[in-house]
Structure 1
Amino acid sequence: MRRTITAMVRTPLGATALALLALVLLTAAFAPLLWGDQADATDTGDLLAGPSAEHLVGTDNLGRDLLLRTLVATRLSIVLALCATAVAVGAGLLLGVAPLLLGRVLGRAVTWFTGIAVAFPGLLLALFFAAIFGSTATAAVFALGLAGAPSFARLCQNLIAGIEARDFVSAARVGGIGRFRVLFRHVLPNIGEPLIVNATVGAGGALLAFAGLSFLGLGVQPPEYDWGRLMMDGLRGIYANPLAALAPGIAVVVAGLAFNLTGESAARSLGLSDDAILTAIPRRRRVRPAHVAPLSADDTASAESAPVLEVEDLRVDFLGTNGTTVHAVRGVDLTVGTGEIVGIVGESGSGKSMTALAVAQLVTSPGTVTARTLRFLGTDPRALGATRRRRLLGTSMAVVFQDPMSSFNPTMRMGDQLAEVAVEHAGLRRQEARDRAADRLASVRITSPRRRLRQYPYEFSGGMRQRAMIGMGLMVSPRLIIADEPTTALDVTVQSQVLDLLRAIRDEEGTSILFISHDISVVAELCDRVLVMRAGEIVEELDVRDLSSATHPYTRALLAAVPHMGTDLDRPLATLATLEAEEERSQGEVGASAPDLGRDLDQSEVSSR
């Protein structure tokens, strides 16, 4: 928040808004103390007087100075508007988080109710609630608060929906963290700043609305007075003394502008329109170490005697909206040996990532995962209880996601996020975990690891975030790393560094790696074996040294679609569709002979990629 205020002060709009808001708040704080008694002093000899040197705005029907009463009314007007805003934010937040806490069915009902409530004009809702609660200031506060709650609820629901889609929230759920802890630890800190900004803007609207209710006689009642009440009293003599009604009206406009401009300026400083709103610094709670018992002797023996990962007939299905079933993965078989790097390659939508998520037990409803065999370190995680499954996958399997920015919680420092893995899964104390986090960052070639631990994810470059993601996976010395397109969107230099890092981890730690990519040239450079995937199925499995002699047309099309130094610049780049069509024509003409798909592929060419 300090950075936000600093950024606001550096702009003319922000500096003006903050100065105006400070003036309003100072008036609200000190005007009743300085002029409260004078504002209530009556002068029967000077009733309903016009503007003069003694009374700049005039007097009311009891001879009280209207300018002083306008200044003194600032406190009550601001307090009531802020209370109404607090009620709106509180009620809206409860409705906004309800879908996250109540589940799909009840949560959808709350969402529908919110949508219906948002469709009604806020002023009509306020008048409706005011008629129910009565004509008092307290009733008006609740009326305006409940009338404004639906808009805040819709805002919260939209923000929470965006945070729920982040990988770090999904990982927290799969890791056994309950809904309330996910809400308070991962969701609310990420929506705090946009809520504050919108609440600031909403306070300006509440100020105007409350003045309107008081003007109609549904808000503050005598002998108390706010700006709306002063406007109503001044309206009676508006032709004789227009300033009696204009002065509190001007005060309402100035205060409303102060709140609205401050909110708008804060929004610009945070870049809310560009979805760069996730830089709040929450108050951290101490995480209690999870004292996890080691695996039993039987588990250890079975893990050493079996391959790291065995999968047979893996299927992932999703129920469509029209009742049909979508088969995302269909009958996949794969095995990963100790210290082996196995690549899964295919075009986008072929089922690569879904296969990895199914292996890591990260597929959630409405998806269903079935497999004839699914063993990790000799154990079927589906047959374990929640605690043992979490211990097995949390300590022996690591997942490196494609987008590390969505995998890291943007409101937590990097050191806290890395240390949490060791605290939760290895039972280390906080300082021990931070020491290990620094060591892991150094192992993935991030300089000044101690300083980096105090930084936030947005302060890391793309390549550094990817390496830090790998370092997080190494916090508990995993036996298998699932790398889901870790080099996507990285430049070739950083991509090469990430590949070298993964290869070094395999050589130094003996860690097995399941590497997923759509770039067959990257797979050819890193992996020992390659599984070619298309439409949810493995169409070909071969040693990386045999890529040049691939027999399946789809594999050869993937190879031929990669441009190289000898590519003819006068011809359009090859695509899978055109290459497969050419393959089919060639098979029809030549029979079983394999066409060159536009060029010959030899082993040296594959290796150079």
Structure 2
Amino acid sequence: MTRRMLRVLRTPLGLTTSALLAGALLLAVLAPILWSDEANVVDTDRILAGPSAEHWAGTDNLGRDIFFRVLVATRLSMELALIATAIGVVVGLLLGSAPLLLGRRLGRLVTTAVNIAVAFPGLLLALFFAVIFGVGATGAVLAIGLASAPSFARLVQTLVAGIAGRDFVSAARVAGVGRFRILVRHVLPNIGEPLVVNATIGAGGSLLAFAGLSFLGLGVQAPSYDWGRLLYDGIGMIYLNPAAAFAPGLAVLLAGLAFNLFGESVAKGLGVSVVGGVPLTAEAAEGTSIQDVTQSGGIADGPDAAATELVLDVRDLRVTFPGPSGPIRAVRGVSFSVRRGEAVGVVGESGSGKSLTALAVSQLVDDPGLVEASRLELLGTDLRRGRASAHRHLLGTSLAMVFQDPMTSFNPTRRMGNQLAEVSRHHQGLSRREAFARAVDRLAAVRVPDAERRARQYPHEFSGGMRQRAMIGMGLMGSPSLIIADEPTTALDVTVQQQVLDLLRAIREADDVALVLISHDVTVVGEVCDRVLVMYAGRIVEDLPAAGLRASAQHPYTRALLAAVPDMETDLDRPLAVVPGRPVDPSDTPAGCAFAPRCPLADDRCRAEDPPLAPAADGSRVACWHAGEPLGLTEHTGELIEVDGR
């Protein structure tokens, strides 16, 4: 940041505006000390005199030197403008952060109020508040500060919403970090640059607005004076001495330009785009026992000899979002259980509900999403009921979430060791030094070389594979019983992918940790996991052992996914196999089997009745009316897809 600021100062515009702003601030400090006496001397012999060598801008109706009064007025003008800006920034931060701090309902009310206030012109709001708070400097400061707050709040809302969706914020939530701490430690540092730029530009606007209120007689009152007050007095003698109005007007113009142009120069240097006067960032989610409910019935609730080994128990999980034509059912009745030490793979195309299921289990589905389930238990604790603080502690210590993109998994403004240490400090009560030492130990545990030195580095100094290892290390800061890895090998090269998968396997075997691995690659899941869940259109359509995956797959969708993965025996002279058609739109799920429009075996029954997830002869479960029937060689839209015998 320092280097970028130096580049700004080297540009002609940056150098000029910096010098102009520095001169104005220096004048605000020194002018009252140096020239107060000259500005307050009354000379009745030179009342309303014009410009001269002795009085550069002439005199007022008491014979006082207008030029010296303009210089002295710099302090009060700048001081009041900066105070008003500070009020606007603080109130804007509170209002803009409300959706994150207060939750859905109260946050929506605050957002609505801000949107209404933004619709009114700023000067109109300033006049409205000036009438409420009364005439005078104090009332004008409050009026301008509150009038500028809505636009600043709107900017904060936009920036906070963009950062709140990042993986490192989700990781902090999983770790049980509170909303206020997330705002202060993770969100605000990442939106600081555009806020500083906006505040700088806003100071210029406040200066002009304050001068306007004083000019209208609502701001500074005699015997005090600022530039607006001097402009008001100068207008009364404009025909006798135009310089009396020109001098304070020029001071307001130059100071306002200095703030605004300096703000735009800083924005350019920091890579912040200023659109319509509003700065925005350039960037402006061995035999696992799987149980599934069907549409015609549920899972028996009788005693289970292995119930004490259950780590995660999910039944009839549903996730819906409001849509223009009714609720969108993104996850439709998903049920499964994971026991200690078991590995469950979840596969399917994008939009099938894999990641959303993981987010729902981790309590990370944001408003307006609605999560419902007949059972949602982690280590025997019902996550649907009880105190949120207790749930945060449980999730923070017993569940580790490894996100898809290692580039966004960490807060770029904080050192790696401090980010890992936050979990232990928050949940285990360790001191700063003890928590940092544990962070170093966890980095070493996930095979990060020279862990102590690495812990003092920033995320951008780590490679993609190292960041993913560090993300796993963050999950191990507690004593996790379950690791949910959502596409942990995305954007990594093949060698690093294998290293990450080997690391997850080693952790699972060493500490008897349960693993849920989400992936697009069905063959990778087959190698790492004990059982595989295949999801399509928000449902589990097949649940089968990972061993002998190709031979035991019965659902046409599962077999199509397997066929789409090339291997060493793939005929390179033929087109690569693909799954025909397009995935189902969650807002328009067809009646019957959702895969029917893409399935070569579909008949009238498939298009009318949705098949239940029923037990198959080999102990797996499959939701298909034609499970296991041969598909042969089928042509779809000019592309050949061989899904039998692969």
Q: Give the alignment's TM-score, normalised by structure 1.
A: 0.83
Asked whether the equivalents of residues 92 and 156 of structure 1 are also in contact (C-alpha less than 8 Å), the reply is yes
Matched, 1:418 2:420: yes
Aligned to 1:552: 555
SS state at 2:79 partner: helix
Identical amino acids, percent of aligned pairs: 62
Q: Would the aligned equivalents of 1:4 and 1:269 in 2 still touch at CA under 8 Å? A: yes
The answer (yes or no) to whether the contact 2:581–2:598 under 8 Å persists in 1 is: no
The 1:522/1:246 distance shift into structure 2, 3 A limit, reads farther
Of the structure 1 ranges 337-346 and 477-486, higher mean CA displacement relative to structure 2 is found in: 337-346
Give 1:271's aligned residue. 271
* Residues 237 and 203 of structure 1: CA distance in aligned 2, closer, same or farther (over 3 Å): same
Mapped partners of 2:471, 2:17: distance in 1: 41
- Which range is displaced more, 72-81 or 503-512? 503-512
For 2:256, the aligned partner's letter is G
Superposed displacement of residue 183, structure 1: 4.2
Distance 2:391 2:146 in 1: 45
Structure 1 residues 232 and 384, CA, compared in 2 at 3 Å: closer, same or farther? closer
| Counterpart code for 1:19 | A
1:593 corresponds to which letter in structure 2?
P
Letter of the 1:55 counterpart: H
Q: For 2:485, which of 466, 483, 486 is the aligned residue?
A: 483
The residue correspondences of 1:210-609 to structure 2 (distance < 5 A) are: 210-273=210-273, 275=281, 306-309=308-311, 311=313, 313-318=315-320, 320-321=322-323, 324-363=326-365, 366-371=369-374, 376-377=378-379, 389-549=391-551, 550-562=553-565, 566=570, 568=572, 571=575, 574-577=578-581, 584-585=599-600, 592-595=629-632, 598=640
Deviation at 1:587, TM superposition (A): 8.2
Larger CA deviation: 436-445 vs 490-499: 490-499
Farther off after superposition, 413-422 or 343-352 = 413-422
- Return the alpha-carbon distance in structure 2 between the equivalents of residues 15 and 304 of structure 1: 72
After superposition, the Cα gap between the structure-2 partners of 1:395 and 1:36, relative to the gap in structure 1 and judged at 3 Å, is same
- Summarize the Cα distance change of 1:219–1:514 in structure 2 as closer, same or farther, 3 Å threshold: same
1:569: how far off? 7.3
Q: Report if aligned partners of 1:315, 1:331 keep a CA contact under 8 Å in 2.
A: yes
Shift of 1:213: 1.9
Q: Distance in 1 between matches of 2:571 and 2:211?
A: 73
Deviates further, 513-522 or 333-342: 333-342
Do the aligned partners of 2:316 and 2:335 also contact (CA within 8 Å) in 1?
yes
Q: C-alpha displacement at 1:489, in angstroms? A: 3.1
Q: State the Cα deviation string for residues 271-301 of structure 1 (Å, max 9, x = none).
A: 33473689xxxxxxxxxxxxxxxxxxxxxxx
Secondary structure of the residue that 2:516 maps to in structure 1? Answer: strand
TM-aligned CA deviation for residue 443 of structure 1: 3.0
| 2:343 and 2:531 in contact (8 A); partners too | yes
In structure 2, do the counterparts of structure 1 residues 530 and 464 end up closer, same or farther at CA, with 3 Å as the change threshold? Answer: same
Over 3 Å counting, the alpha-carbon distance change for 1:253 and 1:497 in structure 2 is farther
1:25 Cα deviation after fit: 0.3
Ranges in structure 1 where 5+ consecutive residues have no aligned partner: 279-301
CA distance in 2, matches of 1:223, 1:384: 63
Which deviations, in whole Å up to 9, do the C-alpha atoms of 1:545-600 show, x marking residues without a partner? 42322222111221233356756578487344289899844789xx9323256466
Alignment gaps of 5+ in structure 2: 274-279, 285-303, 584-594, 604-627, 635-639
Which AA in structure 2 matches 1:33?
Answer: I
1:248 and 1:239 mapped to 2: Cα distance? 16
Quick check: 53-62 or 170-179, which moved more? 170-179
Give the conservation status (yes or no) of the 8 Å contact 2:353–2:536: yes
Which residue of the partner structure matches residue 142 of structure 1?
A: 142
Letter of the structure 1 residue corresponding to residue 581 of structure 2: A
CA–CA distance in structure 2, aligned partners of residues 583 and 132 of structure 1: 66
Pairwise CA distance, 1:30? 0.4
Query: What residue is the counterpart of 1:295 in the other structure?
Result: none
Shift of 1:190: 4.1
Higher helix share: 1
Q: Which residue of 2 aligns with 1:204?
A: 204
Secondary structure (helix, strand or coil) at the match of 1:219 reads coil
Instruction: Judge conservation of contact 2:321–2:370 (CA < 8 Å) in 1.
Output: yes
Structure 1 pair 210/386, CA: closer, same or farther in 2 (3 Å)? closer
How far does the alpha carbon of each residue in 1:31-81 deviate from its partner, in whole angstroms, 9 at most, with x for none?
111111112223344443433333333333433333222211111110111
Give SS of 1:334's match.
strand
Higher mean C-alpha deviation, range 463-472 or range 523-532: 523-532
Which amino acid is the alignment partner of residue 558 of structure 1? L
* Amino acid corresponding to residue 397 of structure 2 in structure 1: T
CA contact (8 A) 1:193 1:277 kept: no
Partner-residue secondary structure (3-state), 1:490: coil
Matches of 2:153 and 2:401, distance apart in 1: 34
Per the alignment, residue 50 of structure 2 pairs with 50
8 Å CA contact retained: 1:308, 1:480: no
8 Å Cα contact 1:211-1:229 kept in structure 2:
yes
- Say whether residues 1:94 and 2:94 are aligned partners: yes
Counterpart of 2:581 in 1: which secondary structure? helix
Tell me the SS of whatever aligns to 2:53.
Answer: coil
Q: Deviations over 1:291-327 (max 9, x none)?
A: xxxxxxxxxxx99984454546332232635695544
Q: CA deviation at 1:401?
A: 1.6
Deviation at 1:196? 2.6
DSSP-derived class of the 1:577 partner = coil
8 A contact 1:314–1:329 mirrored in 2:
no
1:385/1:255 CA distance change after superposition, 3 Å? closer
Instruction: State the secondary structure of the residue aligned to 2:476.
Output: helix
Secondary structure of the structure 1 residue equivalent to 2:548: helix
Distance across 1 between alignment mates of 2:393 and 2:283: 34
Tell me the amino acid that sits aligned with residue 466 of structure 1. Q
Do the aligned partners of 2:314 and 2:373 also contact (CA within 8 Å) in 1?
Answer: no
What is the aligned partner in structure 1 of residue 164 from structure 2? 164
Distance 1:381 1:533 in 2: 23
Q: Distance in 1 between matches of 2:49 and 2:265?
A: 41
C-alpha distance after superposition, 1:107-133 (max 9, x if no partner): 322222222221111112222333344
Match in the other structure for 1:39: 39
Deviation at 1:168, TM superposition (A): 4.5
- In structure 1, give the amino acid aligned to 2:320: F
Letter in 2 for 1:417: Q
Q: Which secondary structure state, in structure 2, belongs to the residue aligned with residue 475 of structure 1?
A: coil
Contact 1:194–1:277 (CA under 8 A) maintained in structure 2: no
How far apart are 1:380 and its partner, in Å?
5.5
Cα 1:114–1:243 change in 2 (3 A) is same
> Contact (CA 8 Å) 2:77, 2:226: kept in 1 or not?
yes
**Contact 2:174–2:401 under 8 Å retained in 1:** no
With over 3 angstroms needed to count, the CA separation of the structure-2 counterparts of 1:141 and 1:481, relative to structure 1, is same
- The Cα shift of 1:178 comes to 4.6
| TM-score normalised by L of structure 2 | 0.79
The alpha-carbon deviation at position 23 of structure 1 amounts to 0.8
In structure 2, the CA distance between the partners of 1:602 and 1:444, relative to structure 1 (3 Å rule), is farther
Question: Against the structure 1 CA distance between its residues 10 and 404, is the aligned structure 2 distance closer, same or farther, given a 3 Å change threshold?
Answer: farther
Which has the larger displacement, 334-343 or 534-543?
334-343
CA shift at 1:195, angstroms?
A: 2.6
